[in-house]
Amino acid sequence: MTQKTALITGATSGIGMATAKIFAAQGVRVILCGRRQERLDALAKELSETTKVHTLNFDIRNKDNVFEALNTLPEAFSDIDILINNAGNAHGLDPIQSGSIEDWDAMIDINVKGLLYVTKAVLPTFIKKQSGHIINIGSTAGKEVYPNGNVYCASKHAVDALNQGMRIDLNGKGIKVGAVNPGLVETEFSNVRFKGDTDRAKTVYKNFTPLQAIDIAEIICFAVTRPPHVNIADLTVMCLDQASSTIVNKIE
Ligand code: NDP
Ligand code: 8X3
pLDDT digits over 137-157, tens only? 999 999 999 999 999 999 999
Tell me, in angstroms, the distance from the centre of ligand 2 to residue 125's CA: 32
Each residue of 107-143: pLDDT tens digit? Answer: 999 999 999 999 999 999 999 999 999 999 999 999 9
**Which residue owns the Cα nearest ligand 1 atom 15?**
88
Question: What structural domains does the chain harbor?
Answer: 5-237 (3.40.50.720)
Query: Ligand 1 centre from 172 Cα, in Å?
Result: 31
User: Helix H segments across 72-188?
Assistant: 75-78, 101-107, 115-129, 150-169
* pLDDT at res. 138: 98
Q: Which of 168, 189, 178 is nearest to 136 (CA)?
A: 178
Q: Decide: pTM greater than 0.90.
A: yes
**Residue 2: what pLDDT?**
73
From 63, 111, 187, 234, the mutation candidate for ligand 1 (largest count of ligand atoms within 8 A of CB) is: 187
139 C-alpha to ligand 2 centroid (Å): 6
165-178 residue pLDDT tens: 999 999 999 999 99
Could you give the percent of the chain with pLDDT greater than 90? 98
The tens digit of pLDDT for each residue in 190-247 reads 999 999 999 999 999 999 999 999 999 999 999 999 999 999 999 999 999 999 999 9
Q: Could you read off the pLDDT of 21-76 as tens digits, one per residue?
A: 999 999 999 999 999 999 999 999 999 999 999 999 999 999 999 999 999 999 99
Give which of 53, 55, 107, 118 is closest to 83, Cα–Cα: 118
List of residues 6+ apart from 7 with CB closer than 8 A: 30, 31, 33, 56, 80, 82, 83, 84, 118, 122
Q: Is the dihedral of CA 249, 250, 251, 252 positive or negative?
A: negative
Q: If pLDDT is split at 50, 70 and 90, which confidence band does 252 have?
A: confident
**Distance of CA 13 from the midpoint of ligand 2 (Å):** 16
Residues lining ligand 1, judged by CB closer than 6 Å?
A: 10-16, 34-36, 39, 59-61, 86-89, 110, 137, 139, 182, 184-185, 187-189, 192, 213
Nearest CA to ligand 2 atom 6: 141
ipTM greater than 0.90? yes
Residue in 155, 189, 248 to alter for ligand 2 test, most ligand atoms within 8 A of Cβ: 189
Q: Does residue 184 surpass a pLDDT of 80?
A: yes
The average pLDDT across 179-199 equals 98
The atom of ligand 1 lying closest to the CA of 11 is 9
Q: Is 146 a catalytic residue?
A: no
pLDDT of residue 220: 98
Is the per-residue pLDDT at 1 higher than 90? no
C-beta neighbour count of 240 within 10 angstroms: 10
Q: How much distance in Å is there from the Cα of 193 to the middle of ligand 2?
A: 10
Mean pLDDT, residues 173-190 = 98
Residue of 184, 188, 192 with the most ligand 2 atoms within 8 Å of its CB, for mutation: 184
